[in-house]
Structure 1
Amino acid sequence: MLVVDDNKVIRQLIRVNLELEGFEVVTAADGAECLDVVHQVRPDVVTLDVVMPRLDGLRTAARLRADPRTRDVPLVVVSACTQYEVEAGLDVGVDAFLAKPFEPAELIAVVRQLTARDDHGDTPVESRCPGSGPERAAHP
C-alpha cells in the first residue's frame, strides 16, 4: 500500500488503520514523492488525496495510468469528493473514491475490494462518495 496525502495526521490515520488490518504501508507527502517511490514499493493499492503541493492527486493518478509499470495499480481518491474531483478522477482512471471524513471500516472495505478485484478480475468497487457509485466508478 502507498498512502499519499500532504496532511501528516491523515497519512498516519490511514497508515495505522491499514497496518492494523495486516497491510504493509509506505507513505508519501505529495504526488511528486509518490512518483519517486512507487516503483520501489510496488504497491497493491495507492490512496491519493486530491489537493496537495507540487503535484496534486489527479495529475499523479494520470501519470500513474500513463506509465506501463503502474497502469494497473488500483487507485483510490480520498478527498472531499466534489463533483469535479469525481468526474476528473474517472477521466484519469481512478478506481474508487472515499469521502473525507471517513470511517476506518469504509477505508478497509474499499482497499479489500480493490485487492480482491486484483485477484479475481475487474469487478466494480463500491464508491464512498455521493454521485460516484459503482455505475460511475467502474471504468473499462
Structure 2
Amino acid sequence: MAVIVVAEDDPDLRELVTLILGQAGHEVVGVGQGDAALAACRERRPAVAVLDIAMPGDLDGLAVTRALRADPATADLPVLLLTARARADDVRAGIDSGADDYIAKPFDVGYFVERVGRLVADGRPA
C-alpha cells in the first residue's frame, strides 16, 4: 500500500479523492493547505503528492512543488497537479514548477487512478 498526500482545499473534493485512492488500495493523507502538504510530504515520505494549484495560505500547489524539488529529501517525489486551471499556460507553469503530471478538473476517475498508479509504480521520471 502506497502513501499518497492529497492537498485540496475543497473538503468535499478532498474526501472524494481520498475515497477514490483508498479504494485503489492506497493510504491517503488529506490536507487543505499548501504548508500542510509540504509538512506531510516531509514527514510521511509519500509515494506521490497530488496537489491542487489554488489553495489558501502562503503556498499554492506550484510553490509546494518548487519547495519539494528544492529539498534533497523530497526532490524525487512524484507530483501530480490536479486542478481546475486547464489553459495551456497553466499546464506549462505546472510542468515548469517541477510537476510530473497534470490533470484538469473535472477529471475522469479511471484516468486519474491510472496516472497515480503509474507514478507510484515508476517513481519520478528521469
TM-score by length of 1: 0.81
The gaps in structure 1 that reach 5 residues or longer are 123-139
Could you list the structure 1 runs, at least 4 aligned residues long, displaced by more than 4 angstroms after superposition: none
Kindly report which structure 2 residues correspond to 1:78-117, keeping only aligned pairs within 5 A, or say none.
78-80=82-84, 81-117=86-122
1:11 match: 14
The structure where strand makes up a greater share of residues is 2
The gaps in structure 2 that reach 5 residues or longer are none
Residue pair 1:2, 1:38 contacting (<8 A) in 2 also: yes
Kindly report which structure 2 residues correspond to 1:43-122, keeping only aligned pairs within 5 A, or say none.
43-54=46-57, 55-80=59-84, 81-118=86-123, 122=125
Distance 1:84 1:50 in 2: 13
- Percent identical among aligned pairs is 36
- 1:103 deviates by 2.0
- 1:38 deviates by 1.6
Distance 1:30 1:84 in 2: 23
> CA-to-partner distance for each residue in 1:25-49, whole Å, 9 max, x for gaps?
0011011111222222111000010
Kindly report which structure 2 residues correspond to 1:33-52, keeping only aligned pairs within 5 A, or say none.
33-52=36-55
Residue pair 1:48, 1:76 contacting (<8 A) in 2 also: yes
Distance 2:33 2:64 in 1: 9
